[in-house]
């Protein structure tokens, strides 16, 4: 028997706003239709689309985008935004993943770094060059790593991202300001091994579980290894399970602590590198990771626990529905709800 729930998979046709490709939306649809009575895809591009989504009154929205631009003519940076999770919350509709506050925090990479540092965790020293007030002055130690402060998918990261002189630094900052109209994050470069760690909440126990992978990339002409846009697009990186139990435990513990420092919920990914002493150091978070069957989130779960793609999607839906039901019980009864059994079939 299928579970009597209405689930909407929401995304945008604008690649800059979407965290989910059309093929991923269709694959998720195919998975969920095996288990739930009503599952559909809704494309949201404006407020009218949001209102239409709310009118459907789904039990759960699977978010494949963070926000809608209220005035796209002003551009990604300057347009006022409606965060979907906040909008849906205001209409008592559950959605997957972290709330709008956590999403906004992780979107600005330097703000996320500072939150992690404030929590007593390690992240490399940094400064910001604002698009409105460009700055090249610093007291950091070269080499430095330079990237847009609020772009994902390795956007703006290339062989010029690691800089060794003030002239190289100024050239890269200026290039990013011109190309992305974005603030620029400059941080001391970490040359150690790179990891991406899925953090996912278990629907029954409520426990956060960390599942790390190592990302190995080809060396560039300077011998540096990092996930550039060219490497990512060409799929040149290798994704490996961690065999060292001590290292696996260290990066997993660090990832869960960073996840909590960002007030995250349900699931996400924490990216990190080892510093010169071999200790984990925070790079950035992705609280709306891609849900494709070849993305890093799935590979984390599959390599660590043999979790299938279908089970990953069903688990994400489970934990979101559990949270929604628990919240409803607390609201109606005014007490902490008892643990709710899994709705998985």
Higher pLDDT, 8 or 328: 8
Is residue 106 packed enough to be buried (19+ CB in 10 Å), middle (13-18) or exposed (0-12)? buried
pLDDT of 276 over the 50 cut: yes
Q: Write the DSSP symbol of residue 212.
A: E
Indicate whether 303 pLDDT > 80.
Answer: yes
pLDDT at position 345 is: 23
- The arithmetic mean of pLDDT across residues 236-249, rounded, is 96
Which stretches within the chain are classed as H helix?
22-32, 47-56, 75-78, 84-90, 100-107, 109-118, 166-180, 229-234, 245-261, 296-305, 309-333
Model-level pTM?
Answer: 0.92
328 falls in which pLDDT band (50, 70, 90)? low
pLDDT at residue 209 is higher than 70: yes
Q: Is a pLDDT exceeding 90 seen at residue 187?
A: yes
Instruction: Quote the pLDDT of residue 326.
Output: 72
The angle subtended at Cα 36 by Cα 31 and Cα 38, nearest 5°, is 105
The CA distance from 93 to 260, in Å, is 24
Instruction: In whole angstroms, give the CA distance from residue 215 to residue 217.
Output: 7
Instruction: Please check the confidence at residue 153 and state whether its pLDDT lies above 50.
Output: yes
Question: CB pairs under 8 A, 24+ apart, for 163-170?
Answer: 166/136, 169/136, 169/138, 169/144, 170/136
Under 8 Å between Cβ of 75 and 259? no
DSSP string across 299-340: HHHHHHH---HHHHHHHHHHHHHHHHHHHHHHHHHSSPPPPP
User: Can you tell me the distance from the alpha carbon of 130 to that of 16, in angstroms, rounded to the nearest whole number?
Assistant: 21
Q: Positive or negative, the Cα torsion across 143, 232, 215, 320? A: positive
Which tens digits make up the pLDDT trace of 23-74?
Answer: 999 999 999 999 999 999 999 999 999 999 999 999 999 999 999 999 988 8
Which comes out higher in pLDDT, residue 245 or 205?
A: 245
- Render pLDDT for 129-140 as a digit per residue (tens, 0 to 9): 999 999 999 999
Using the predicted structure, report yes or no on whether residue 202 has a pLDDT greater than 60. yes
Q: Which of 263, 254, 260, 282 is nearest to 110 (CA)?
A: 282
With 70 as the cut, is the pLDDT of residue 336 above it? no
Residue 340 has pLDDT above 80, yes or no: no
Cα–Cα dist 271/260, whole Å: 14
Reported as a single tens digit per residue, the pLDDT across 75-112 is 877 899 999 999 999 999 999 999 999 999 999 999 99
Q: How far apart are CA 106 and CA 288, in angstroms?
A: 10
């Amino acid at each position: 028997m299928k579970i009597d729930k209405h689930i909407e998979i929401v995304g945008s046709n604008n690649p800059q706003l979407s965290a989910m490709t059309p093929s991923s939306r269709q694959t998720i649809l195919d998975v969920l239709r095996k288990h739930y009575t009503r599952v559909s895809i809704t494309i949201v591009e404006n407020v009218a689309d949001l209102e239409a989504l709310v009118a459907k009154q789904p039990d759960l929205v699977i978010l494949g985008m963070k926000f809608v631009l209220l005035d796209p003519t002003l551009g990604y940076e300057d347009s006022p935004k409606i965060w979907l999770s906040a909008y849906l919350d205001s209409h008592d509709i559950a959605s997957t993943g972290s709330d709008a506050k956590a999403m906004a925090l992780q979107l600005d990479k330097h703000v996320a770094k500072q939150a992690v540092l404030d929590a007593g965790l390690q992240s490399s020293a940094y400064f910001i060059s604002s698009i409105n007030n460009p700055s090249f002055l610093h007291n950091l130690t070269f080499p430095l790593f330079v990237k847009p402060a609020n772009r994902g998918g390795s956007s703006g990261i290339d062989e010029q991202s690691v800089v060794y002189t003030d002239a190289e630094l100024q050239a890269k900052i200026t290039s990013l300001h011109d190309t992305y109209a974005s603030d620029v994050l400059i941080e001391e470069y970490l040359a150690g091994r790179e990891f991406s760690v899925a953090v996912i909440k278990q629907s029954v126990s409520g426990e956060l579980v960390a599942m790390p992978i190592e990302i190995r990339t080809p060396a560039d002409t300077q011998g540096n290894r990092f996930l550039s846009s060219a490497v990512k697009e060409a799929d040149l990186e290798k994704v490996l399970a961690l065999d060292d139990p001590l290292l696996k435990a260290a990066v997993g513990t660090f990832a869960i602590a960073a996840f909590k420092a960002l007030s995250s919920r349900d699931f996400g990914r924490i990216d990190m590198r080892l510093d010169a002493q071999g200790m984990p150091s925070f790079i950035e978070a992705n609280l709306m990771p891609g849900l494709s069957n070849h993305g890093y989130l799935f590979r984390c779960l599959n390599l660590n626990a043999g979790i299938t793609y279908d089970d990953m999607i069903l688990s994400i839906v489970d934990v979101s529905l559990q949270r929604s039901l628990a919240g409803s019980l607390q609201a109606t009864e005014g007490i902490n709800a008892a643990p709710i059994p899994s709705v998985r079939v």
